[in-house]
Amino acid sequence: RVAAMQVPDSYQGIHLPEELGPKDVVTIQEFFQSGPKMALHAKYVLQLLHGAQEVFKREHPTAVHRIQHVPEPGDGKELWVLGDTHGQLQDVLWLFHDHGGPSQNRTYLFNGDIADRGDRAVEIFLLLFAHKLVWPNSVYINRGNHESKEMNTMFGFSAEVRRKYKGTQVLALFQSIFDTLPLC
């Protein structure tokens, strides 16, 4: 159904293929880094959300499996543990710039509270989901108390999603993904 969505000629943002590769992750990051001129088209947002949802469901099929097992980094590999980014995309971009982004040799564990307060949490999630789709073992996300419907309503993530993507489909998909994440 997402593949059938049409992107109008008037859309001035980036276009993504159905199968993401490393260059597409860089394109997404550069698009978000350029500022909030326009939101990523809903077709690509839904593509990233559905893809991430499938990955997380495979990793955590039941509540019993919702414990995050992050492999210990081997020789020449790094593990970075972050938390409480609260919609501050520039902080995440700076960390990726300073330390390098997620890759086969660099794993990031995000310990929740990515959502709310800041106005770019959508972009943080989409960027992390893109990394997860290309390098599944490079990004792990735990659910903080701000990855919940109640907190999203009180602290702004729901409003951010609705402002950028009218309707409830994108927000419902985010909530469904949050429900599959292991608790922090």
Under the banding of pLDDT at 50, 70 and 90, the label for residue 68 is: confident
The single residue of 41, 86, 131, 146 carrying the catalytic annotation is 146
Beta carbons of 111 and 144 less than 8 angstroms apart: yes
Specify the pLDDT at position 37. 79
Q: Percentage of the chain with pLDDT > 90? A: 73
Q: Which residues contact 89 (CB under 8 A, 6 or more apart)?
A: 32, 118, 120, 121, 123, 124, 127
Mean pLDDT in the chain?
92
User: Is the pTM of the predicted complex or chain greater than 0.95?
Assistant: no
Give me the mean pLDDT over the 170-176 stretch. 96
Under the banding of pLDDT at 50, 70 and 90, the label for residue 64 is: low
Length of the chain: 184
Under the banding of pLDDT at 50, 70 and 90, the label for residue 140 is: very high
Q: Where are the alpha helices (DSSP H) in the chain?
A: 22-33, 42-59, 89-99, 121-134, 149-155, 157-164, 169-180
Q: Count of CB atoms within 10 A of residue 179's CB?
A: 15
Q: What is the pLDDT of residues 4-18, one digit of tens each?
A: 899 999 999 999 999
State both tokens at 69: 């097992």
| 86 catalytic per annotation | no
CA distances from 100 to 67, 74, 78, 137, 138 (A): 26, 17, 10, 15, 12
Q: What is the pLDDT of residues 30-56, one digit of tens each?
A: 999 998 678 999 999 999 999 999 999
Specify the pLDDT at position 184. 84
Higher-scoring residue by pLDDT: 184, 105: 105
Backbone angles phi, psi at 25, to 5 degrees: -65, -40
Distance between alpha carbon 53 and the CA centroid of its chain, in Å? 10
Contacts of 154-162 spanning 24+ positions with Cβ under 8 A = 155/115, 155/116, 155/117, 156/87, 156/116, 156/117, 156/119, 157/87, 157/115, 157/116, 157/121, 157/122, 160/87, 160/119, 160/121, 160/122, 161/122
